């Protein structure tokens, strides 16, 4: 099976976030970056499918130069080769614009299966995989925990709300967006990191893919959210704060 995994580089979860001066994005200087976690689960599922059924795992990622480090991480974990869609305007493209870039790059490869995370941890649109499927004319399923290869198709386990699941039979080629938790994520080995340096990483630009960037939906500005409640922050040392909290819970909130 030829599997493409679309991954995104996002700000590290623990990185402090500051709004950029134009209020249209976040300050990127000194920011730490990481692989979007749902995409890491998509990569894991792809690697396991390859281990079981043979084939090739190709990583695709869109973004500026810095995205290369996250692509190398995916190669170190076991992906065979990678394609980077070079662009500096990911933040101003809408969901359709981003998906057009990825779909154009994926189409050239004619894969059997396309996997990606169910959503990104930064913008959190949760749409890219679904739109890629639409643009490629392929069937899709979302929030998938497991993929099983059957005769000439696949059976997937989809998460529904409130602890329910569903199995879906699908033909190939298909596009799936992966939910977290279906597998245990692997770490890159030292050998893997060494090998990654020699694996193929091709770059292609948005212009070469002849994808335009006109957006129907634009981000006007970013702001800190307004508080829904006035939170009483209890100051002092851990011991003082803990004692003050217990007192409040007992006498004010009356829940202890």
Partner 1 sequence: MSGILVVLEDRAEKIRSTSWEALAAALKLGSAQSVTAVVLGAQTEALAGEAAAKGVGKVVRVEHPLLARYTADAYCAVLQQLIQNESPTHVVFPHTYQVRDFAPALAARMGQALIGDVVAIEDGPVFVRQLMQGRLNGSYRHHGNGPCFVSVQTGAFRADTVEMNETTAVTTFIPNLDAAQIRTKPSEPFREAAQTVDLASAQRIVSVGRGIKEVENLGLVQDLAAAIGAELAASRPICDNGWLPMERQVGSSGQTVAPKLYLAVGISGAIQHLVGMKGSQCIVAINKDPEAPIFEVADYGIVGDLFEVVPALTEAVKAVKA
Residues between 56 and 115 that touch partner 1 (CB under 8 A) = 94-97, 99
Which of 22, 54, 152, 161 contacts partner 1 by CB under 8 A?
Answer: 161
128 to 157, contacts with partner 1 by CB under 8 A? 130-131, 133-135, 139-143
CA torsion, points 46, 49, 50, 54, in degrees to nearest 10? -150
Size of the site for partner 1 (CB under 8 A): 77
Nearer CB in complex with partner 1: 136/196? 136
Establish if 255 lies at the interface with partner 1 (CB under 8 A): yes
Q: What is the DSSP letter of 91?
A: G
Establish if 8 lies at the interface with partner 1 (CB under 8 A): no
Establish if 213 lies at the interface with partner 1 (CB under 8 A): no
Q: Give the separation between CA 27 and CA 77, rounded to whole angstroms.
A: 29
Establish if 22 lies at the interface with partner 1 (CB under 8 A): no
Q: How far is the CB of 6 from partner 1 (least distance, A)?
A: 14
Residue 204's CB is within 10 A of a number of other CB atoms, namely 18
Q: How far is the CB of 199 from partner 1 (least distance, A)?
A: 28
172 to 211, contacts with partner 1 by CB under 8 A? 179-181, 184
Which of 17, 32, 66, 208 contacts partner 1 by CB under 8 A?
Answer: 17
Treating both helix axes as pointing N-terminal to C-terminal, what angle do 95-107 and 128-136 enclose, rounded to 10 degrees? Answer: 50
Q: How far is the CB of 81 from partner 1 (least distance, A)?
A: 28
Stretch of 27-35, 48-56, 158-166, 189-197 lying at the interface with partner 1 (CB under 8 A): 158-166
Which of 92, 124, 189, 203 contacts partner 1 by CB under 8 A?
Answer: 124
Q: Regarding beta strands 174-178 and 140-149, do their DSSP bridges make them parallel or antiparallel, or are they unpaired?
A: parallel
Nearer CB in complex with partner 1: 198/210? 210
Q: Give the separation between CA 220 and CA 247, rounded to whole angstroms.
A: 45
Q: Regarding beta strands 140-149 and 153-159, do their DSSP bridges make them parallel or antiparallel, or are they unpaired?
A: antiparallel
Q: Give the separation between CA 15 and CA 81, rounded to whole angstroms.
A: 29
Q: Which among 60, 175, 54 is positioned nearest to 112, based on CA atoms?
A: 175
- For 164, residues 6+ apart whose C-beta sits below 8 A from its C-beta are none
Q: How far is the CB of 193 from partner 1 (least distance, A)?
A: 23
């Amino acid at each position: 099976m030829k599997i493409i995994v679309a991954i995104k580089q996002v700000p590290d979860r623990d990185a402090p976030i500051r709004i950029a001066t134009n209020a249209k994005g976040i300050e990127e200087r000194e920011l730490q970056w990481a692989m979007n976690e749902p995409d890491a689960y998509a990569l894991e599922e792809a690697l396991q499918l390859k281990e079981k059924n043979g084939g090739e795992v190709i990583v695709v990622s869109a973004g500026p130069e810095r995205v290369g480090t996250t692509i190398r991480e995916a190669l170190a974990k076991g992906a065979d080769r990678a394609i980077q869609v070079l662009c500096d305007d990911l933040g101003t493209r809408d969901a359709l614009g981003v998906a057009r870039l990825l779909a154009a790059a994926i189409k050239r490869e004619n894969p059997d299966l396309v996997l990606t995370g169910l959503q990104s941890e930064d913008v959190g649109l949760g749409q890219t995989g679904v739109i890629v499927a639409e643009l490629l004319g392929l069937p899709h399923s979302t929030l998938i925990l497991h993929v099983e290869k059957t005769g000439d198709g696949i059976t997937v386990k989809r998460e529904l709300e409130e602890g329910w699941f569903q199995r879906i039979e699908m033909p190939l080629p298909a596009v799936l967006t992966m939910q977290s938790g279906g597998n245990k994520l692997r770490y890159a080995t030292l050998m893997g990191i060494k090998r990654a340096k020699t694996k193929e990483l091709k770059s292609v630009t948005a212009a070469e893919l002849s994808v335009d960037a006109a957006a129907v939906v634009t981000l006007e500005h970013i702001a800190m959210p307004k508080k829904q409640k006035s939170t009483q922050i209890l100051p002092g040392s851990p011991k003082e704060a803990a004692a003050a909290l217990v007192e409040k819970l007992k006498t004010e909130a009356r829940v202890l």
